Chains A and B, each alone.
Chain A
Amino acid sequence: MTIDTLHQQLSDKKISSVELTQDYLKRIATSNPDLNSFITVTEELALADARAADDRIKSGKNVTPLTGIPVGIKDLFTINGVRTTCGSHILENYTAPYTATVVQRLQDAGAVIVGKLNMDEFAMGSSNEHSYFGNVRNPWERDHIPGGSSGGSAAAVAALQCVAALGTDTGGSIRQPASHCGVVGIKPTYGRVSRYGMTAFASSLDQCGPMARTVRDCAEMLNVIAGFDPHDSTSLNLPATNFSADLGKSIKGMKLGIPKEYFIDGLDSDVAKAVEAGIAELKKLGAECVEISLPHTEYALPCYYIVAPAEASANLSRFDGIRFGHRASHPKDLRDLYELSRTEGFGPEVTLRITIGTFVLNSGYYDAYYKKAQQVRTLIKQDFLKAFESVDAIAAPVSPTAAFRFGEKTDDPIQMYLSDIFTIPCNLAGLPGLSVPCGFTKDKLPVGMQLIGKPLAEATILQIAHAYEQATPWHGMLPPGVTL
Chain B
Amino acid sequence: MTDINKKLIDHIAHLARLRFPEADLERYTQKAKHILEYVERLKAVNTEGIEPTAHAVDAVGFMRDDEAQAFDNREAILANAPERDGDFFQVPKVL
Chain A residues within CB distance 8 Å of chain B: 80-81, 94-95, 97-98, 189-191, 204-205, 228, 230, 233-237, 296, 298-299, 302-303, 305-306, 313, 317, 320-327, 331-340, 342-343, 346, 351-352, 354-360, 362, 365, 368-369, 371-379, 381, 412-414, 427-430, 455
Distance from B62 Cβ to chain A, minimum over Cβ atoms (Å): 4
Contact of B62 among A233, A324, A332, A352 (CB under 8 A): A233
Which of B45, B53, B76 has the most chain A CB atoms closer than 10 A to its own CB?
Answer: B53
Contact of B28 among A233, A355, A369, A427 (CB under 8 A): A355
Task: Render B32-49 as a binary contact track against A, CB cut-off 8 A, 1 for contact.
Answer: 101110111111110100
List, in ascending order, chain B residues with CB within 8 A of A204's CB.
54-56
List, in ascending order, chain B residues with CB within 8 A of A358's CB.
12-13, 15-16
How far is A317 from B80 in the complex, measured between Cα atoms in Å?
A: 17
List, in ascending order, chain B residues with CB within 8 A of A205's CB.
56
List, in ascending order, chain A residues with CB within 8 A of B62's CB.
228, 230, 233, 235, 237
List, in ascending order, chain A residues with CB within 8 A of B16's CB.
313, 317, 342, 354-355, 357-358
Given A335-B17, A357-B16, A372-B43, 4 more contacts at CB 8 Å? A234-B55, A234-B59, A299-B44, A362-B15
List, in ascending order, chain B residues with CB within 8 A of A236's CB.
57, 59
Distance from A96 Cβ to chain B, minimum over Cβ atoms (Å): 8
8 interchain pairs (CB within 8 A)? A98-B73, A233-B63, A236-B59, A299-B45, A334-B94, A358-B13, A359-B8, A375-B53
**A97 adjacent to B12 (CB under 8 Å):** no
B9 nearest in chain A by CB position: A355
List, in ascending order, chain A residues with CB within 8 A of B15's CB.
358, 362
How many chain B residues touch A (CB < 8 A): the figure is: 54
List, in ascending order, chain B residues with CB within 8 A of A237's CB.
59, 62
List, in ascending order, chain B residues with CB within 8 A of A333's CB.
92-93
Total cross-chain contacts (CB, 8 A) = 182
- Cβ of B86 within 8 Å of any chain A Cβ, yes or no, is no
**A375 adjacent to B50 (CB under 8 Å):** yes
Q: Which 4 A-B pairs have the closest CB atoms?
A: A430-B56, A374-B52, A97-B76, A190-B56
List, in ascending order, chain A residues with CB within 8 A of B83's CB.
327
List, in ascending order, chain B residues with CB within 8 A of A372's CB.
42-43, 45, 47
**A95 adjacent to B76 (CB under 8 Å):** yes
**A414 adjacent to B34 (CB under 8 Å):** yes
List, in ascending order, chain B residues with CB within 8 A of A299's CB.
41-42, 44-45
How far is A484 from B18 in the complex, measured between Cα atoms in Å?
A: 48
- Cβ of B64 within 8 Å of any chain A Cβ, yes or no, is yes
How far is A368 from B40 in the complex, measured between Cα atoms in Å?
A: 9
Task: Render B69-95 as a binary contact track against A, CB cut-off 8 A, 1 for contact.
Answer: 001010011011111000001011110
List, in ascending order, chain B residues with CB within 8 A of A335's CB.
17
List, in ascending order, chain B residues with CB within 8 A of A190's CB.
55-57
**A375 adjacent to B52 (CB under 8 Å):** yes
How far is A328 from B81 in the complex, measured between Cα atoms in Å?
A: 13
**B31 adjacent to A413 (CB under 8 Å):** yes
List, in ascending order, chain A residues with CB within 8 A of B42's CB.
299, 302-303, 306, 372-373, 376
How far is A391 from B10 in the complex, measured between Cα atoms in Å?
A: 49
List, in ascending order, chain A residues with CB within 8 A of B43's CB.
372
